[in-house]
Structure 1
């Protein structure tokens, strides 16, 4: 039988529960028509749809590599939603986010990863550093780890700051093959001593076909503006080429990570 096409569920947001004031994008806990709670990421927030694109691509790559991440879903926001919201800033955010947004399943009772208390082994640390080097994720630092402990297991969240090349769309070819200098600030870098072994394992998983599947999840409506006039399929092709090229030259970001770790010792 043919393999199933990769796809995300779509839910309709029914209730705005509470804002999450961490960071500048004002995500919120919201309830959907499937009666589950989600952390809702808004297309009308500061970085717009590019943060949602990074969240989707980063999260689905992490999932493909076997990391624990909350389920990602598309979340529809009706035009009437939020009209009774008393907070003017939140009301403006909701009005600017009608249509298709992105949400992550809310992990009730999860606690923030503490690098002093929680110490993953070298293999897991190397896997996470490899992932963030690939994605150029600037937001997994000691100040903001974007990891949770839930049922005694480590979960990755919030990849919205990854793929920062897309904020300067014209030089993506150069960015695809550059070292990731910000890896020096990664919270798990001191433990990441098995990068080469992880590289072989992960490159076998992230085939060109798998990357194509993931970028094909990007909805046309997110790709209509802000990409130098490119059509949606052309935009998907840039993400595909960026990721496959970066995987092909993974030794560049592995060497950078190893060098940065050695300077910490």
Structure 2
């Protein structure tokens, strides 16, 4: 399932299959007009479009780095779905999400990664840890691994909690160069013994051109926020600058991860 950046698709939701209530933002399994099933994330959920922005940017960065990640697609949701939904909570969510949303291709029969069952080799573990430090992803712990095993391969999912700097725009410059303390709880940190080598390899892959291309996918309507006077383009530039600054200062978060790992092994 290798997806080119130039082919991010838009599909129309044709059937709401079932809510996935294990997710805090109430994602759902839906069917689209291309005949495939998707796990849909709603712009009307608790964190609003920011969760979709994080999902999109982090997901395509992961794909660029060579990780297995389900195809991401834009999903158009019609108002008719809310009218036909008997559950009041879901009905409100659908009403608030009419228009453009985001979804991940559903990996049928995939199972949640369990560190007690599957051991990940050090290079891949180091890659995942480095990536989560870059995007400040707090959701890859033993309590919530946000990884799947599918066809005996590790797949990364659910990055809506990443890039949390965008919940407070005032100090994004400082956050871009901070260590990532939550890495101490990362489920793969004990195996991540090759962080320095991964740092050089991954920094070379994430070129400024690729970062700008990925951030350019974010729809303007997701970037608008009545609580702030910044334009969509100004916000887009902040995401770009945050990622470029964090890459340039990667030694800081790599050292943080290495020091945290020493306490575990």
Q: Could you give the per-residue CA deviations for residues 17-68 of structure 1, whole angstroms, max 9, x where no partner exists?
A: 0000113100000000001000000000000000000000010000000000
Q: After the TM superposition, which of the residue ranges 246-255 and 82-91 deviates more from structure 2? A: 82-91
Unaligned runs of 5+ in 1: none
The answer on whether the counterparts of 2:123 and 2:194 sit within 8 Å (CA) in structure 1 is: yes
Distance 1:125 1:227, change over 3 A: farther
Q: In structure 2, the residue corresponding to 1:264 is in which secondary structure?
A: coil
Distance 2:59 2:6 in 1: 13
Q: In structure 2, the residue corresponding to 1:154 is in which secondary structure?
A: strand
The answer on whether the counterparts of 2:5 and 2:60 sit within 8 Å (CA) in structure 1 is: no
The answer on whether the counterparts of 2:76 and 2:98 sit within 8 Å (CA) in structure 1 is: yes
The answer on whether the counterparts of 1:10 and 1:75 sit within 8 Å (CA) in structure 2 is: yes
TM-score, reference length from structure 1: 0.97
Aligned to 2:178: 178
The answer on whether the counterparts of 1:38 and 1:103 sit within 8 Å (CA) in structure 2 is: yes
The answer on whether the counterparts of 1:11 and 1:34 sit within 8 Å (CA) in structure 2 is: yes
* Runs of 4+ displaced beyond 2 Å: 4-7
Q: What does 1:192-211 correspond to in 2, within 5 Å? A: 192-211=192-211
Distance 1:121 1:226 in 2: 46
Give the number of aligned pairs.
Answer: 262
The answer on whether the counterparts of 2:184 and 2:260 sit within 8 Å (CA) in structure 1 is: yes
Aligned to 2:257: 257
Q: In structure 1, the residue corresponding to 2:40 is in which secondary structure?
A: strand
Q: What does 1:147-226 correspond to in 2, within 5 Å? A: 147-225=147-225
Distance 2:260 2:5 in 1: 39
The answer on whether the counterparts of 2:5 and 2:214 sit within 8 Å (CA) in structure 1 is: no
Shift of 1:232: 0.9
Q: Could you give the per-residue CA deviations for residues 197-244 of structure 1, whole angstroms, max 9, x where no partner exists?
A: 001110110011110000000001101115621111111100000000
Aligned to 1:53: 53
Distance 1:77 1:51 in 2: 17
